[in-house]
Amino acid sequence: MALVESEAQPTIEDLEKKKKKEEKAREKELKKLKAAQKAEAAKLQAQQVSNASKVGKRKNIKKEAGEDNPEDYMDPDTPAGEKKHLSSQMAKQYNPIAVEKSWYPWWEESGFFVADSSSIKPPFVIVLPPPNVTGALHIGHALTCSIQDTIIRWRRMSGYNTLWVPGMDHAGIATQVVVEKKIMRERRLTRHDLGREKFLSEVWDWKNEYGGAILKQLRCLGASLDWSRECFTMDEKRSKAVVEAFVRLYKEGLIYRDLRLVNWDCVLRTAISDIEVDYIDIKEKTLLKVPGYQNLVEFGVLTSFAYPLEGGLGEIVVATTRVETMLGDTAIAVHPEDSRYSHLRGKFAIHPFNGRKLPIVFDPILVDMNFGTGAVKITPAHDPNDFEVGKRHNLDFINIFTDDGKINSNGGLGFAGMPRFKAREAVTAALQEKGLYRGAKANEMRLGLCSRSNEVIEPLIKPQWYVNCNSMAKQALDAVMDIENRKMEIIPKQYVADWKRWLENIRDWCISRQLWWGHRIPAWYVTLDDDELKERGAYNDHWVVARNEEEAQLEAGRIYAGKEFKISQDPDVLDTWFSAGLFPLTVLGWPDDTEDLKAFYPTSVLETGHDILFFWVARMVMLGIKLGGDVPFRKVYLHPMIRDAHGRLHKRLEEGNLDSTELKVAKEGQVKDFPNGIPGCGADALRFALVSYTAQSDKINLDIQRVVGYRQWCNKLWNAVRFAMSKLGDDYSPSKNTSSRYLCHLAASGYSLY
C-alpha cells in the first residue's frame, strides 16, 4: 500500500509575507474607492448646475407665457353616453363634482351593468329594496346603496354574472297621505272632493315627478344597477303578478274574508297591521299630542263608575282607561267563582244613557276576581279581549265610532258627532251628573300608535281580507332553523332569535286597506236580485275572486246559475307589503316562466335594515317558498340603523311625519350643527364613510365630519396619483396584464370606482 505524505505546514516567514500582501491590496482598493467617490461628486455637482440652469429657463418661459392655463385642468364637455373627455393635466385639487361628472352615462350606455340570463358564468343577484316613491332618497338609502354596490362590483370583477335589479315601491299609505296633504295645502281640497279617478291621476303625476328624482339620485351615487330591468310595484307586469298571487292563494284557502277587530287609524281611515303599531308605555297620568286635537289628551288614567242593576239590586262598579267606550258596552263580566256576584246569574245591568240591558256573564278566562272590583265592562266591538268574550257568550257587537274617530248614532244623541277624546270628557261629566262616577286614579298602560301617522289606534270591528300564515311561517322558520337542511342564513346571527320569535307567534295577516292608491283587491261582490240586504258585503259568502271583471262575471254565473245578479269590485286595496313580498319573484318575470326567473331565482343576497326583518323579509320568504318553490335569497345581511351624530333617527324634514313644533326643533338643530352648511363631499367620500361604519353595532351615529374626512382622504389619493403621473411621462400606459386584485380590493373597501 502506498503511503500518503502529510501536507507541509506554513512557516512564520510565509505568514508575514501573506499579511503584507493583503495590506497592499486593501490600500489599492481604498485608493480606487476614493477616486470613484471624487468622480461621482464632480458629476453630481455638474448635474445640479445643469438643473439650476433648466429651472431658470422654465421660470423665464413661465414669466414670458404667464400663469398656467386654467383650461388645461378642466375636463372638456363630454357628449352624453360617450367616455369622459379628460383634461390634459390633472387638477391640482380633488373636485368631486368634476371627477364624477359624465362617467355614469357612459357606463350605462356601454351596458357594463347588464346581466345576461344565458351566460355560463355563475350568477350573483341582489334585488335593491325598492325605495318608496314618496319623495327623495334619504341617508338610509345611501347606506343600502353603498353596501350593495360594494358587494355587486366585487362579484362582477371576480367573474360572476352579476345582476342588481332596481325598482320603486308605490308605498300605498305613505304616498296617499303625502298627495292628500299636497292637494289640501295647494287647493284646499280632499281626495273625496276630487273623486277616485282624479285623485289617482294626481298620485301618478306625483310618482312620475318624484320617481324620476329617485332614479337620478341612484345614478349620482354611482350605483351599478341593471336599468334594463327597472320596475315599479304598480307597473303592468307587477300588477298582473299581484293579482295572480291573490287568486292562487285564495283558491288554496289561504286568503279569506272575515269580520274581525282591526287596528284602525282614524286619521288615515284605514286598517293597519299589528306590526305597523308602535306601543309606548305610560307609567302615570300623561298628556300627549294627538293628531286632530288642539289640546293635549290625558292618558294613563283608570276611571271607575257604577252601572245600576235591574230590579233594584244595587249597582256594580267597573273601571276603564277608555271611558268613552262604555257607550258601546253590551255586557259585564265576572268570575264564576266570585261569591260577591253569584246572586247576579241571569241578571242585567242597565245602561244609564240609553237603557240598554247588559247581561252579567260569568267568564273565567278574562276576569281576575282579585283585581279591582272583580267586574269588567265588555265592549266587544272595541277591545280585543272583549271581542273574544263577545264570541264566547254570543253578545251584541255595537260599533260606536265613525271611520274618522267620531261618535256615531249608536253612541246616543247626547254624544253623536263628538270626536272620541272629546266624548271621553263628556261621558265623564255625564256620569258625574248622574251620580255614577266613582273616581279616577293613575294607571300604567300601553298605548298603541300608528307608526306612520302617530295616531292613537282605535280597535274597530271591520270586514277584511286575511292571509292564513301558519303553514307558510313554518316553512320560513325551517329555512333558517333547520340545521341539516338550512336554506337561508341571517347575518348578523343575533337576529335569528327575532326571526324565530316572530314566526312561532305569527297571526293571520290583514291585507286589505281602505285606501285608493294601491293594487285594488281582485274580488267582486255578487248582489242577487232576491237578496233581502242589498249593501255590499252584507253576505260574506257572496264574494268571487278572479283575475278580471270578465272572469268574475263568469264565476258568479257558474255559482248562481239561473239567478239575476250584479257584481261590484271591492273598493279596498292590498297592503303594500303584499306586493313587496312578491318582489324577488315579480322582478324576474313571475308568474311567467321567463329566462330571468330560470337563471336568477333564487337570488344571492338580500341586504336591508334590520327594522323590516318581519315587515318585508319574512313575508318575502313565506311567499317565495309558497309561490316560487324556494327561498327568494340564500343570505340576508341586515345593516345597522343610521342616526345623526346625536343618536336621533334620520327623517326628512319636509313632507314627513314631523308636526310643526318638531319641524322647528329639527331645523334649529340643523343650523346649530352646521352653521356654515354641509360641505360638498361627493359620492365616493359619502359611500366610504357609510361603509366604514358597518363594522359597528346595530346603530350608526353618522358624523358629517367623518364624511368630510374621507373627502380629504380622496384629495390625498388624488394628489398621490397626480404626483405619480408626473413621473411616468406622457407616453406611459399600464400593462394590459395588470392583475385585477388591487381593483377588487378597492371595490371591497367601498369605492364606487369613478
Q: What is the pLDDT of residues 659-712, one digit of tens each?
A: 566 567 767 777 777 777 777 889 999 999 999 888 766 778 888 888 889 999
Q: What letter would DSSP give residue 21? A: H
Query: If 0-12 CB within 10 Å is exposed, 13-18 middle and 19+ buried, where does residue 695 land?
Result: exposed
Q: Are residues 301 and 446 in the same domain?
A: yes
Range of weakest confidence among 145-154, 172-181, 307-316, 404-413: 172-181
CATH code, domain with 302 = 3.90.740.10
* Contact (Cβ atoms closer than 8 angstroms) between residue 127 and residue 587: yes
pLDDT at residue 597 tops 90:
yes
Percent of the chain with pLDDT over 70: 85
Q: Hey, CA dihedral for 449, 453, 454, 455, is it positive or negative?
A: negative
Q: Are residues 292 and 260 in the same domain?
A: no
Query: If 0-12 CB within 10 Å is exposed, 13-18 middle and 19+ buried, where does residue 50 land?
Result: exposed
What pLDDT, on the 0 to 100 scale, is given for residue 75?
A: 83
pLDDT at residue 600 tops 70:
yes
Q: Are residues 443 and 349 in the same domain?
A: yes
Q: Are residues 429 and 558 in the same domain?
A: no
Higher per-residue confidence, 503 vs 653: 503
Q: Choose the most confident range, by mean pLDDT, from 132-141, 319-328, 705-714.
A: 319-328
Q: What is the pLDDT of residues 477-515, one digit of tens each?
A: 999 999 899 999 999 999 999 999 999 999 999 999 999
Q: Are residues 362 and 386 in the same domain?
A: yes
What pLDDT, on the 0 to 100 scale, is given for residue 313?
A: 93
For cell 326643533, the residue is 665
Confidence of residue 408 (pLDDT cuts 50, 70, 90): very high
Q: Are residues 426 and 469 in the same domain?
A: no
Kindly state the average pLDDT of the residues 140-149: 93
pLDDT at residue 29 tops 70:
no
Q: Are residues 453 and 570 in the same domain?
A: no
* Contact (Cβ atoms closer than 8 angstroms) between residue 335 and residue 367: yes
Distance CA 74, CA 70 (A): 7
Q: Are residues 398 and 475 in the same domain?
A: no
Counting the structural domains of the chain, the total is: 3
Looking at this protein, which amino acid is placed at residue 163? L
Nearest to 83 by CA among 113, 108, 119: 108
Q: What is the pLDDT of residues 159-204, one digit of tens each?
A: 999 999 999 999 888 899 889 989 999 999 989 999 999 999 999 9
Q: Is residue 740 one of the residues assigned to a domain?
A: yes
**Residues of the domain holding 359:** 277-459
Range of weakest confidence among 601-605, 606-610, 654-658, 691-695: 654-658
Indicate the residue among 574, 596, 619 that finishes a domain.
574
* Contact (Cβ atoms closer than 8 angstroms) between residue 472 and residue 626: yes
Q: Are residues 387 and 522 in the same domain?
A: no
Distance CA 431, CA 437 (A): 5
pLDDT at residue 233 tops 50:
yes
Query: How is residue 469 written as a grid cell?
Result: 300564515
482 three-class SS = coil
Q: Report pTM.
A: 0.81
Q: Are residues 372 and 437 in the same domain?
A: yes
* Contact (Cβ atoms closer than 8 angstroms) between residue 493 and residue 608: no
